[in-house]
Amino acid sequence: MPELPEVETIRRQLDKYLVGQKIAYIESLHKKSLVGDMKEVLNAKITGVKRLGKMLVMEMSNNYVIAIHLKMSGQLILTKNNKQETRNKNDKHIRVKINFLNGNELLFIDQRIFGWVRIMKKEELKTMGYVKNLGPEPWDITDIDFYKKLQKKSKAIKIILTDQDVISGVGNIYANDALWEAGIDPRTSANTLKPDKVKILRKMIIKVLKEGIKLGGSTGQDGKYVNLEGEPGSYQDRFRVYDRDGEGCQRRDGGVIQKIKLGGRGTYFCPKCQM
């Protein structure tokens, strides 16, 4: 589920609560969810928590890292000081438990088992396909370079925005909303966008991502995304077009939000103001 704003919200909390903590033991409750040897990080201290695109990287004092990708349904929940949390229906989807010496426990919950927790050497990180090909974040690329990259792509701009090799961090929600902000039809071939449109688009991507971070990410009716403390975000109240098919365009131009499919994913736009 999570895109850059959701992952960044969790990263900030992990960094705040876990830096300096030592790992006591790690429990794997599902074979596919934990990759690597947990013995490598026992007793190691967390020195910092970084983010690469939508992936979290907990850096350890012994030059190992614990990398986590939440994919579609992953959650991280921190339970403090052995406090017994209320049992809920998520309990059966707990896949990995990371226990700290101070009694805190970090739960990796993942209903669909697409996500993973990987223990590896810091140098190995660069060799992962996901990291190797990862594009810059929207604020780390110039308008010119972004334009040049888009010139090489003939697919629909909506599909290109969610391609992590082009720019990293943008997923389905923020791609749809950024295109509405920029007034661009999601079906537009990326290489036909003029430099001035690309400049506006990059600006709007940054705008919706920053708003997403500020609001703690977005949590749908299913309540699937929650932060480290189990709280929902509120960007969903600000959705421009995502999940708003059938509703009137917020520009009050008389347009009605349409839902189509692009690259197999739900795509939302206003036919009246996105051209």
Partner DNA sequence: GCGGGTGTTCACGC
Partner DNA sequence: CGCGTGAACACCCG
Instruction: Answer left, alpha or beta for residue 259, where phi above 0 means left and psi between -120 and 50 means alpha.
Output: beta
Distance from the first to the final alpha carbon of the chain: 28
Select 141 or 262, whichever has its Cβ closest to DNA: 262
- Is-contact 40 58, C-beta < 8 A? no
252 as an active site residue: the answer is no
Select 207 or 265, whichever has its Cβ closest to DNA: 265
Q: Does 173 bind DNA (CB under 7 A)?
A: yes
2 as an active site residue: the answer is yes
Q: Does 29 bind DNA (CB under 7 A)?
A: no
Select 100 or 180, whichever has its Cβ closest to DNA: 180
156: tokens are 């629909």
Catalytic residue among 5, 6, 11, 54: 54
Smallest gap from Cβ 62 to DNA, in A, equals 26
Q: Could you give the strand order of the β-sheet that contains 105-110, starting from the edge strand earlier in sequence?
A: 23-28, 94-100, 105-110, 74-79
| Per-residue interface string for the shown chain with DNA, residues 90-109, x marking contact by CB under 7 A | --xx----------------
Q: How far apart are CA 275 and CA 268, in angstroms?
A: 13
Q: Containing H/E element for 202? A: helix 195-214
Q: Does 265 bind DNA (CB under 7 A)?
A: yes
Q: Does 252 bind DNA (CB under 7 A)?
A: no
- Is-contact 52 126, C-beta < 8 A? no
Residues 6+ apart with CB under 8 A from 74: 1, 2, 68, 108, 109, 110, 114, 115
Q: Does 155 bind DNA (CB under 7 A)?
A: yes
54 as an active site residue: the answer is yes
Smallest gap from Cβ 23 to DNA, in A, equals 26
Select 23 or 240, whichever has its Cβ closest to DNA: 240
Q: Rule CB under 7 A: which residues touch DNA?
A: 1-3, 6, 32, 53-55, 69, 71-73, 89, 92-93, 111-114, 129-130, 152-156, 159, 162, 164, 171-173, 217-220, 222, 224-225, 236, 263-266
Q: Which residues are catalytic?
A: 2-3, 54, 265
